[in-house]
Structure 1
């Protein structure tokens, strides 16, 4: 479950929710309290194993929005879109939280740098 203190909540009442895909076994999405530190339109992607840069565009695995909320100083995890929307609600990725493209665009418009984010199992 993902929780934000943003227009998607009023107190503890959920006003908006989205289906998401999370990290698979061995690449689990980190849980805890975080803060959004990066927001990008049309981001470039980087392959997690070989570092190949994937340019912005329809084949980019990050979709057209990126909302970064976690980093260990080397790796970064965030919310982003995907060209594979049929995989929503499955644990198949590398720690990031993938969302349908229209959903991540809506979320992008509801949050700002510094918005707290709670990621709960």
Structure 2
């Protein structure tokens, strides 16, 4: 008599694994495969400030979604129609960061416009990986997401999603930020 365990396992495994798959899913479908079929044309990024969410569309179809953290009160993220005007994989802030001396942080989390530089120190801008600038001072990039608007105007995404959005678009891609 032949064992039926392997055939039962094969039959039920997809059903058992589907909740795990969908629970961890933050994108639809993998963007890597799409890059081979049509490049980055027809893409658009939409950010909803009230929902604290971003979506990436390809030819009108949503292909990725992500939670975000946008500008806090007094430092709001601008709303309107924009385009990606700069891509910088290893961007650093020119306003916010730390003063360092000999590789050690002397003054942490400063705004260079408000905090004088201590003697012998240099400014090291806060890292903003996978930066997609869409206005003079704002862009989408990887960063901390506390679950509410907390940035100085930029749109922060989880590292993995920031890379996906970065890899999926080019300079000129439309960015719509709505309230």
In which range does the TM-score fall when normalised by the shorter chain? 0.7 to 0.9
60, 63, 77: which is aligned to 1:29? Answer: 77
Instruction: Name stretches of at least 5 consecutive residues in structure 2 with no aligned partner.
Output: 1-45, 49-54, 97-110, 114-121
How many residue pairs get matched?
106
Instruction: Give the deviation of 1:8 after TM superposition.
Output: 2.6
Distance 1:99 1:7, change over 3 A: closer
Residue 50 of structure 1 corresponds to 112
| TM-score of the two chains, using structure 2 as the length reference | 0.53
Distance 1:36 1:94, change over 3 A: same
Distance 1:36 1:53, change over 3 A: farther
**1:1-121 mapped onto 2 (5 Å cutoff):** 2=47, 8-11=57-60, 13-48=61-96, 49-50=111-112, 53-54=123-124, 60-62=126-128, 64-71=129-136, 76-82=137-143, 84-85=144-145, 87=146, 89-121=147-179
Deviations 1:82-102 (A, max 9, x none): 2x34x2x41111110001111
**Which protein is richer in helix relative to its size?**
2
Larger Rg: 2
Provide the alpha-carbon RMSD of the alignment.
Answer: 2.3
Runs of 4+ in 1 over 3 A off after TM superposition: none
Instruction: Name stretches of at least 5 consecutive residues in structure 1 with no aligned partner.
Output: none
Larger RCO (CA within 8 A; separation ≥ 6)? 1
SS in 2 for 1:43: strand
Instruction: Give the deviation of 1:53 after TM superposition.
Output: 4.1
